[in-house]
């Protein structure tokens, strides 16, 4: 009769297969961690805690990371919103079908959204798409001012529109 020593089996989990990475102290990760997790009010979420548990973060750390990531993705995606229109207008040198009135309204709407978020103290990831869309709409307005020839946009119209926009926003 032989004696064998049995090794107690560890429960099968992903944590046993892949080691945790401790990213605390690595400058680029600390800067990102401060931006993502430093404002969280809970005790179990902080840059040090979350960066110590990569990739097996607590639900609070993971949730905050997803929210910030989605905010950044929305802002980056908003830069592509009017890009096809801008490219078509510039390449064709035609602004036929574009309405200055609707673009002026859009500028005021994006301005409202951006300043509301700013004044309420929301993070830029919550209202940044309004800034991006405002910039693209401004490019379209400037392009119309330059390219519209029947009838051309008068200097009085441009000055009035700029004065209204600056005084409103």
Q: Can you tell me whether residue 23 is helix, strand or coil? A: coil
* 4 has pLDDT over 90: no
Q: What is the pLDDT at residue 22?
A: 67
Q: What is the DSSP letter of 24?
A: T
Quick check: 126 and 115 in contact, CB under 8 A? no
Mean pLDDT across 148-167: 91
Mean pLDDT across 51-77: 85
Share of the chain above pLDDT 70, in %: 86
68: Cβ contacts below 8 Å, ≥ 6 apart: 35, 36, 125
Rounded-to-integer distance, Cα 93 and Cα 78, Å: 24
Main-chain dihedrals φ then ψ at residue 149, nearest 5 degrees: -120, -15
Q: What is the DSSP letter of 42?
A: S
Q: What is the pLDDT at residue 59?
A: 81
Rounded-to-integer distance, Cα 96 and Cα 89, Å: 9
113: Cβ contacts below 8 Å, ≥ 6 apart: 127, 130
CA Rg, the chain, in Å?
Answer: 26
* 40 has pLDDT over 80: no
How big is the chain, counted in residues? 169
Rounded-to-integer distance, Cα 88 and Cα 139, Å: 13
Q: Give the H/E segment covering residue 15.
A: helix 14-17
Q: What is the pLDDT at residue 12?
A: 52
Mean pLDDT across 142-168: 92
Rounded-to-integer distance, Cα 132 and Cα 86, Å: 14
Q: Which structure tokens are listed for 137?
A: 């709409």
State the pTM of this model. 0.72
Residues 67-111 pLDDT 10s: 889 989 999 999 899 999 999 999 999 998 899 999 999 999 999
């Amino acid at each position: 009769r032989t004696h064998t020593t049995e090794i107690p089996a560890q429960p099968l989990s992903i944590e046993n297969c892949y080691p945790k990475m401790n990213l605390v102290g690595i400058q680029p990760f600390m800067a990102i961690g401060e931006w993502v997790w430093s404002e969280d009010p809970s005790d179990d979420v902080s840059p040090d805690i979350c960066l110590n548990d990569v990739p097996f973060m607590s639900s609070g750390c993971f949730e905050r990371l997803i929210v910030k990531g989605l905010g950044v993705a929305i802002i980056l995606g908003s830069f592509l919103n009017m890009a096809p229109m801008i490219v078509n207008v510039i390449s064709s040198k035609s602004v036929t079908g574009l309405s200055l009135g609707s673009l002026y309204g859009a500028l005021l709407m994006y301005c409202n959204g951006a300043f509301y978020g700013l004044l309420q103290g929301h993070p830029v990831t919550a209202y940044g798409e309004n800034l991006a869309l405002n910039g693209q709409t401004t490019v379209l307005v400037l392009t119309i001012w330059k390219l519209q020839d029947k009838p051309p946009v008068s200097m009085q119209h441009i000055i009035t529109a700029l004065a209204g926009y600056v005084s409103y926003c």
